[in-house]
């Protein structure tokens, strides 16, 4: 099977070899429409939809007609709760609603493969032979990213949950961590560099392989 090849580095930023990536996941044709649909759905699903305004039936006051219908020289008014009045109700204002969008599994997988392939095509994937932390040290992870020349936003993909690594990366601006079996299309596209632990690449290829 045809493969995509990337360099592998150690935690000192030194090149230690090369690794071949699955063509099915990292060398596929990029589907822009799928990426747009999935990112849009992700952003919409983050919305709480709890915004609410009061209509004229929900604001206080307005039990009496402000002035008589005719003879005052002013426009006729029936209630102080009308939208044109200060402290009146809001006409056509937002009410609580769900913004949730559902997408089928095939579309979500297509978008994920497209996102990974886009990063591979642009040379924005960095593989580290082994990511480990002996203690909770943000400085060590900062030095690691500096050695790998990862200077902007980065998504660090781990093979499994690792509290020491997650906490150590957490305080670095623009750096997020994710588990290999729970990748997010938005996070992949939103980062400048995709940093994989070598074992995380193997997990990704196993979890998202073509059946």
Question: What tens digit of pLDDT does each residue of 147-187 get?
Answer: 999 888 999 999 988 888 999 898 899 999 999 999 999 99
What pairs with residue 127 in β-bridges?
A: 8, 196
Percent of residues, the chain, with pLDDT higher than 70: 98
**What domains can be seen in the chain, in order of their start residue?**
3-47+99-207 (3.40.1370.10), 53-93 (no CATH)
What is residue 14's predicted lDDT score, i.e. its pLDDT? 86
What pairs with residue 4 in β-bridges?
A: 21
Q: What are the strands, taking DSSP E only, across the chain?
A: 3-9, 15-22, 125-128, 154-158, 175-179, 193-197
Any residues with CB less than 8 A from the CB of 35 and at least 6 apart, and which?
111, 114, 115, 118, 185, 189
Check pLDDT > 60 for residue 10.
yes
What is residue 178's predicted lDDT score, i.e. its pLDDT? 92
CA distance to 9, 107, 141, per residue, from 131 (Å): 10, 31, 10
Backbone φ and ψ for 96, nearest 5 degrees, come out as -55, 135
Percent of residues, the chain, with pLDDT higher than 90: 64
Kindly list the strands in the beta sheet with 125-128, ordered across the sheet, starting from the edge strand earlier in the chain. 15-22, 3-9, 125-128, 193-197, 154-158, 175-179
pTM: 0.80
In our burial notation (b when 16+ CB lie closer than 10 A, e otherwise), range 105-129 reads: eeebbbbbbbbbbbbbeeebbbbbe
Check pLDDT > 60 for residue 77.
yes
Instruction: Work out the pLDDT band at 4, boundaries 50, 70, 90.
Output: confident
Crossing angle between the packed helical segments 163-170 and 138-147, to the nearest 10 degrees: 80
What is residue 151's predicted lDDT score, i.e. its pLDDT? 85
- Looking up tokens 């593989």 gives 127
Question: What tens digit of pLDDT does each residue of 103-135 get?
Answer: 999 999 999 999 999 999 988 999 998 888 888
What is residue 42's predicted lDDT score, i.e. its pLDDT? 95
Backbone φ and ψ for 16, nearest 5 degrees, come out as -115, -5
Check pLDDT > 80 for residue 61.
yes
What is residue 3's predicted lDDT score, i.e. its pLDDT? 62
């Amino acid at each position: 099977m045809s493969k995509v090849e990337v360099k592998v580095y150690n935690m000192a930023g030194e090149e230690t070899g090369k690794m071949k990536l699955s063509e099915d996941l990292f060398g596929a044709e990029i589907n822009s429409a799928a990426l747009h649909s999935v990112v849009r759905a992700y952003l919409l699903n983050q919305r709480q939809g709890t915004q609410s305004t009061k209509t004229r039936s929900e604001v206080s006051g307005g039990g009496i007609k402000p002035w008589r219908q005719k003879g005052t020289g002013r426009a006729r008014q029936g209630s102080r709760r009308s939208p044109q009045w200060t402290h009146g109700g809001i006409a056509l204002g937002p009410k609580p609603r769900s913004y949730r969008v559902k997408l089928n599994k095939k579309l979500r997988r297509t978008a994920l493969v497209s996102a990974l392939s886009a990063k591979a095509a642009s040379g924005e994937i960095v593989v580290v032979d082994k990511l480990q932390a002996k203690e909770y040290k943000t400085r060590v992870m900062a030095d690691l990213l500096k050695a790998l020349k990862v200077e902007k936003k980065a998504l660090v993909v781990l093979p499994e949950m690792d509290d020491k690594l997650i906490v150590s990366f957490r305080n670095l601006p623009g750096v997020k961590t994710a588990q290999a079996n729970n990748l997010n299309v938005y996070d992949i596209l939103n980062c400048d560099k995709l940093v994989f632990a070598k074992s995380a690449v193997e997990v990704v290829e196993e979890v998202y392989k073509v059946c």
